Amino acid sequence: MRTAVYPGSFDPVTNGHIDIIRRASSMVDRLVIGVLNNSAKSPLFSAEERVNMLEEVTKDIPGVEVTYFTGLLVDFAQSSNARIIVRGLRAVSDFEYELQWAQANRLLNPALDTLFLITDQNYSYLSSSTVRELAKYHADISKFVPPYVEQKVLEKY
Ligand code: PNS
């Protein structure tokens, strides 16, 4: 069975993430989405809320599981029996950061590879922080997140 992990903050999950989840899940038997539960950050949504939103918006996609993790990504991948880490790449500005971590993760565990999927051009500008910023000023976010997530974001502000 081919398993991949798709890690991220997902604060909140956007249509860009969902596009990556659909495409990645069609390449593997099992895609484990890992929500980073980082106590150093103060996210808008708790890890439980982020997991819940991801479960809701991916329930029609076969082979997808959602969980949260703390600590190192390589340890999460190993405990999920995954040898593939999926990351979405938007602009060139993402590249340097991603390259650094993909290489660091390979040093930590050479059995792991990072698979980069190029973000659909419709979502190249889209990020969770953009969604949070727009919502803060009561802008319309319905084009960027699924209706379920839009509702949850609106409840926060
Ligand atoms: O959606 P994000 O915030 O860009 O995701 C970043 C994430 C979760 C992939 C990264 O911060 C991560 O893997 N953190 C876990 C700690 C770790 O292993 N760090 C080193 C490798 S990135």
Task: Round to whole Å and give the CA distance between 23 and 53.
Answer: 19
The residues carrying an active-site annotation are 17, 41, 90, 128
DSSP 55-78: HHHTTTSTTEEEEEE-S-HHHHHH
Residue 23 has what pLDDT?
98
pLDDT recorded at residue 140: 97
CB 150: neighbour CB atoms within 10 A?
18
Structural domain including 7 reads: 3-156
pTM over 0.85: yes
Report d(CA 110, CA 133) in Å as an integer: 38
Among the atoms of ligand 1, which is closest to the Cα of residue 74?
A: 18
Cα of 37 vs centre of ligand 1, distance in Å, is 10
pLDDT of residue 95 exceeding 80, the answer is yes
What total of structural domains would you count in the chain? Answer: 1
Per the CB < 8 A criterion, the answer to whether 81 and 3 are in contact is yes
Question: What burial class does residue 117 get, using C-beta atoms within 10 Å of its C-beta: 0-12 exposed, 13-18 middle, 19+ buried?
Answer: middle
At 39, which CATH number? 3.40.50.620
